């Protein structure tokens, strides 16, 4: 499929307040795109808009929304259309998560909120925006999933399931839109140097898996997302070492399970029960323990 000319393209980008989303927003703006940026923290969105304007780029439209709430995505789509008229490119980047065992998370509010952010809100935006793209026979949907879709680390299952669901939905959407003129891109980040690394490493031993490759740079990933849009590519995997587990997921899951079993066998039994029995909302608006881990990671990176 031919790529998209980003100059003047109208982009709705969720999860734009930090990390991969912020870097991608600035990259897209530098290519001439007009942006509507979405997140829960207004002050960070306004800071992003100010930075774009300072660079001489078009100031993004700021849309504050909590995509963990059902119906919020539909309101975001309405606001973007009101600001732009039409949306040419949808980037579903917003993410949230939950930590805890399968029996602790269950079908409780924290798990449902994670699915709302990571799966149902992207589908709601696709529902709102893709039909008009099909009518115009042009446009793009970029879904940011995760290498977690092939993981099975203790306490990580609910989050991984949300990303696996979005990945399968993305592949299906790509097949459904074949020949329509609408491009579909799956972005599959592995470990990337953002605040989420702090909270992920709350799980005992997971750094043994994460540290087997250098952390990716969010600016590099943003550049690859932009290049994929311009060149008509269907998938971005970064760091590239993540391609192996995607090609051979059964082997990857078996390896992760064995590594996790060895790691968790060294954890004190009482501590293991505490970790598996505790449910933690993650993300920038998550529980205090997750927010502190994110902040500590960012402080350490700032000092490095």
Catalytic residues: 159
Residues 97 and 196: their CA atoms lie apart, in Å, by 10
- Residues 107, 154 contacting (CB under 8 angstroms): no
Taking the chain, what is the end-to-end CA distance rounded to the nearest angstrom?
A: 42
Show the tokens assigned to 234: 């269907």
Number of helices and strands in the chain (H, E): 14, 9
Nearest CA to 22 among 44, 55, 43? Answer: 44
Q: What is the CA 170 to chain-centroid distance, rounded?
A: 13
Distance separating alpha carbons of residues 253 and 239, to the nearest angstrom: 18
Lookup result for tokens 């919020």:
72
Which among 61, 105, 66, 54 is positioned nearest to 83, based on CA atoms? 61
Would you tell me how many other CB atoms lie within 10 Å of the CB of residue 231? 11
* Side-chain-facing half-sphere of 279: CA atoms under 13 Å: 16
């Amino acid at each position: 499929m031919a790529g998209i000319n980003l100059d003047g393209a109208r982009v709705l980008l969720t999860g734009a307040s930090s990390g991969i989303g912020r870097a991608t927003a600035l990259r897209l703006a530098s290519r001439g795109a007009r942006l509507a940026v979405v997140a829960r923290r207004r002050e960070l969105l306004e800071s992003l808009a100010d930075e774009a304007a300072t660079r001489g780029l078009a100031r993004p439209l700021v849309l504050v929304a909590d995509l963990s709430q059902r119906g919020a995505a539909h309101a975001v789509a309405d606001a973007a259309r009101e600001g732009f008229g039409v949306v040419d490119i949808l980037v579903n980047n917003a993410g949230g998560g939950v930590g805890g065992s399968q029996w602790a998370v269950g079908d409780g509010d924290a798990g449902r909120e994670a699915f709302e952010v990571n799966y149902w809100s992207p589908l709601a935006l696709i529902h709102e925006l893709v039909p008009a793209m099909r009518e115009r026979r042009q446009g793009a949907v970029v879904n940011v999933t995760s290498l977690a879709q092939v993981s099975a680390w203790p306490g990580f299952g609910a989050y991984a399931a949300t990303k696996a669901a979005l990945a399968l939905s993305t592949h299906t959407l790509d097949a459904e839109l074949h020949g329509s003129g609408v491009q579909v891109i799956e972005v599959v980040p592995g470990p990337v140097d953002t605040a989420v690394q702090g909270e992920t490493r709350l799980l005992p031993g997971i750094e043994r898996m994460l540290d087997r490759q250098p952390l990716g740079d969010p600016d590099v990933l943003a550049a690859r997302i932009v290049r994929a849009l311009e060149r008509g590519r269907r998938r971005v995997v970064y760091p590239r070492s993540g391609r192996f587990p995607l090609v051979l997921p059964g082997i990857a899951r078996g390896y992760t399970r064995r590594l996790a079993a060895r790691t968790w066998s060294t954890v004190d039994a009482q501590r293991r029960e505490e970790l598996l029995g505790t449910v933690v909302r993650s993300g920038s608006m998550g529980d205090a323990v997750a927010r502190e881990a994110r902040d500590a990671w960012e402080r350490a990176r700032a000092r490095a």
